[in-house]
A = this chain, B = another copy of it.
Amino acid sequence: MDRRRASQLLAGYRQFLLGRPTLSSHEQSISGSYSKLNTWRPCCMFRVSVGTPQASNYLNLGKTYATKQRSFGSAATDIPRNPAFSKLNADDISYFRTILGERNVVEDEDRLSAANVDWMRKYQGSSKLLLLPKSSQEVSKILHHCNSRKLAVVPQGGNTGLVGGSVPVHDEVIINLALMDKIISLDKINGILVCEAGCILENLSSFLENEGFIMPLDLGAKGSCQIGGNISTNAGGLRFVRYGSLHGTILGLEVVLANGTILDMLGTLRKDNTGYDLKHLFIGSEGSLGIVTKVSVLTPPKLMSTNLAFLACKEFTSCQKLLLEAKRALGEVLSAFEFMDSHSMDLVLSHLDGVRSPLSSSLYNFYILIETTGSDETYDKTKLEAFLLRSMEEGLILDGVVAQDINQSSSFWRIREGIAEASVKVGAVYKYDLSLPIDQFYGIVEEMRNRLGEAATVVGYGHLGDGNLHLNIMTTRYDSDILAQIEPYVYEWTSKHKGSISAEHGLGLMKANKIHYSKSPETVQLMVDIKKLWWLSINFKANEVLTKKSQKVVVKEAAAVTRAYY
């Protein structure tokens, strides 16, 4: 394609888009997609088991979880409750009332019913008690009591996860941090925010934007998920390609351990090389080591100029090359590089009202969203457009359009963010969140499509910039034969290609027994050993059994995941 033709095309797309009806804003679009989350999920957090480890009801349950997952029903009922855990009694309730007050010790059935099920309604617990602490000291007292009484607990917040990590399995006490939602400080020079762990991500974002900063993470469930849960699940999301992992942006944590010890690691410094950096153990450990109660996070300055392009490619290799080129040409302003295949696009166009392709043809195989964020509108836009022209001339892009205002941006994002919503409208959906090397990124989608044939619709999309593929396989209803064709094949394929079976969703109950596909036996053993530290007063027989089954070892207290966005 020559330069003039490419230039005409880009201009043409702009004109076409400017004539389109106005859609809702990007923010509205996101919260609209997940509006249910805001109403029926009050909070979210991460699981902590207290009491004896050999009594843990999460040990050795891999097979049961797998069966459960296949049934897509309640996860709890099939798993035997470990009798070594105590049962809640009236004295416990009285004690909690003395600590928290009458109002924050919840036994109301309706409220418990909502807290006992995850937002996908796949996992169902039967907890009789929901506690609402207002401070780290209250969390400490709760855990100290539960530990001494051998009562199992599960922290829970927005409960927006996809792997069944944030709901009780049986009658665990639910600890909800929703009342710990205070912003403690903001260093306006360095952008260092300190807040309680129950702060809702979107509230933090709004607060920061008024102060000229942004959160380093953004995800669809932001209206419900809490920062403590984001940290416990090492949430990824849309800004990952620009601002990286929470391991790089979380500066400090306060954590309450299972025995009630309050661990003060709440540093606000960018550099601190004094001993082991223990906070990292709590980032992504899905609540199995403690409850995050306070957070210190490095927030980037809010930059004023954002641009968004919606592009079409013929080959997957063109998408790969485009990513490489974008990193070079747009390196410092690139803020998202999102990918979807034509099947994803068709799914959204078929199932979501009011969504249209911004491109005049629908015959493309792959679509890419490139977002840039910088400090200078003119320079940034010119830079993006020059890059797009070059890419069209080189044949990497077949077609494309640059959003001219926030409404057009919203309509582009609506397509990408609508895939999850559209997929559940088909009937049954089997969801996989994989990290894969870039050259293998799309292979599993094609493999599954070949393998399943007419029996299922297979779509691939995700954060290509981070190597994170979301593989959704849809059928009209859940079917164990279909599942048997998918699993363990998808995990084996991912493992063979050195990918990860959980890129950003965590293991949860769904994948606790699949860890060996992504981690070596020695590494899993060390995780088990570390978990022992939190149970120092206990004999380790259960772990010793696990050691012998190194390939089948299960990481205990699976997970809580707070993200609906995927």
* Chain A residues within 8 Å of B, Cβ to Cβ: 187-191, 212, 233-234, 236, 240, 244-245, 247-249, 261-265, 267-278, 280-281, 283-285, 289, 300-301, 303, 320, 323-324, 327-333, 373-376, 379, 382-383, 435-439, 463, 466-468, 498-507, 511, 514-515, 517-520, 522-524, 526-527, 529-530, 532-533, 536, 555
Contacts and interface: CB of A to CB of B under 8 A. Distances in A.
Given A247-B248, A324-B188, A438-B187, A270 B523 contact: no
Contacts of A284: 273, 276-277
B376 A272 contact: no
B332 A268 contact: no
Contacts of A301: 327-328, 331
B533 A530 contact: yes
B264 A522 contact: yes
A117 to B, nearest CB: 23
14 contacts: A189-B320, A189-B438, A191-B327, A234-B277, A247-B247, A261-B522, A264-B520, A275-B515, A276-B555, A280-B281, A329-B375, A332-B374, A376-B383, A533-B533
Given A272-B503, A332-B303, A247 B277 contact: yes
Nearest to A279: B280
A499 B375 contact: no
A519 B527 CA distance: 24
Given A276-B281, A376-B383, 11 more contacts: A263-B526, A271-B467, A272-B503, A273-B500, A276-B289, A281-B281, A301-B327, A303-B332, A330-B375, A529-B536, A533-B533
B283 A277 contact: yes
A256 to B, nearest CB: 11
Nearest to A242: B332
A167 to B, nearest CB: 18
Contact of A530 (B379, B501, B530): B530
Contacts of A373: 332
A250 to B, nearest CB: 9
Nearest to A264: B520
| Across the A-B interface, the 4 shortest Cβ-Cβ residue pairs | A248-B248, A280-B280, A272-B500, A271-B503
Contacts of A502: 272-274
A62 to B, nearest CB: 13
Contacts of A518: 272, 274
Given A263-B520, A283-B277, A332-B332, A500 B271 contact: yes
Given A275-B515, A333-B332, A374-B331, A270 B522 contact: no
Q: Interface on chain A toward B: helix, strand, loop, or mixed SS?
A: loop
A505 B532 CA distance: 31
Nearest to A329: B375
A526 B280 CA distance: 13
Contacts of A249: 244, 248
A516 B466 CA distance: 38
A150 to B, nearest CB: 22
Contact of A524 (B275, B303, B524): B275
Contact of A269 (B285, B499, B524, B530): B499
A501 B273 CA distance: 8
B275 A519 contact: yes
A328 to B, nearest CB: 5
Contacts of A289: 276
A91 B524 CA distance: 35
A439 B281 CA distance: 30
A267 B502 CA distance: 13
Most buried by B among A188, A272, A284, A517: A272
A529 B262 CA distance: 16
Contacts of A272: 435, 500, 502-503, 518
Contacts of A285: 275-277
Contact of A498 (B268, B331, B500): B268
Given A379-B379, A526-B263, A274 B240 contact: no
Contacts of A323: 189
A244 to B, nearest CB: 5
A519 B520 CA distance: 32
Most buried by B among A263, A289, A376, A517: A376
A490 B86 CA distance: 51
Contacts of A436: 269
A35 B229 CA distance: 49
Contacts of A375: 328-332, 383
Given A189-B438, A331-B374, A555 B269 contact: no
Nearest to A235: B273
Nearest to A334: B332
A199 to B, nearest CB: 21
Given A248-B249, A375-B329, A526-B263, A467 B501 contact: no
A271 B435 contact: yes
